[in-house]
Amino acid sequence: MPRRADRRGAAYHRGMSRYARSERQALADLMLALGPDAPTLNEGWVARDLAAHLVVRERRPDAAGGILLPPLRGYAERVRLRVAALPWAELVAQVRRPPVWSPLSNPLTDELVNTMEFFIHHEDVRRATPGWQPRDLPAGLHAVLWKRAAPLARLALRRFPASLLVQAPGHGEVRCGRGGEAVRLVGAPGELTLFLSGRQRAARVQLDGATATVERLRTAKLGL
């Protein structure tokens, strides 16, 4: 008979959002296939560094605050480096199966906080590999990503000196920016998510506007 903790864990994973879970599993599979030294879109990080970041985010609440809070950054990085030293298969297994108690990945929060997170990091590994092509995403995942991308656009572009129209054909549009010259940013929800999270060069989007302003947007520091 399975132990009680095992039964709880199995029930937990069945209850995870299908998109958050599928992106998580696909990322774990890709990491195992490519190895710990595979490049990523995250500057200075290989796959091992990214995996350690994800493990700390979900399993080390004492250090996870350092992801956003500068005073805790040094401690968080020391913890991340210790986690990164784990055997590769063990590290990826921890990415694949987060703990039941994690405030970021339990059934109540998983879809809200992890669908976009794991989509982005899955693409961080995919798009750092030569020959990558955009995936044909399910319509439901497009819809979920647009729900996240619209408020992200308002936040990430709130200080950008232009009048920006961000459009996801078939899903919606949002106006943002500080005002000024008109710029239009068009793409599928997944591509907009990557662009707005600071991966502009890897995102396949259409940008319309003055050349200098468009180039400034392509190189701006975006994301949270």
Higher pLDDT, 71 or 34: 34
Higher pLDDT, 128 or 1: 128
pTM given for the model:
0.88
Per-chain mean pLDDT for the chain: 90
How far is it, in rounded angstroms, from Cα 112 to Cα 110? 6
122 neighbors 50 (Cβ within 8 angstroms): no
C-alpha to C-alpha distances, 122 to 14, 44, 49, 176, nearest whole angstrom:
21, 17, 14, 27
List of domains in the chain: 19-128 (no CATH), 140-219 (3.30.1050.20)
Is the Cα dihedral 170, 172, 176, 180 positive or negative?
Answer: positive
Is 70 exceeded by the pLDDT of residue 66?
no
Q: What is the phi/psi pair of residue 68, to 5°?
A: -115, -25
Is 80 exceeded by the pLDDT of residue 111?
yes
Q: Is 158 left (phi over 0), alpha (psi -120 to 50) or beta?
A: alpha
Residue-wise pLDDT for 136-172, tens only, equals: 999 999 999 999 999 999 999 999 999 999 999 999 9
Is 50 exceeded by the pLDDT of residue 178?
yes
- Residue 17: what pLDDT? 55
The CB-based long-range contact list for 60-65 (8 Å cut-off, 24+ gap) reads: 61/103, 64/104
- Residue 224: what pLDDT? 62
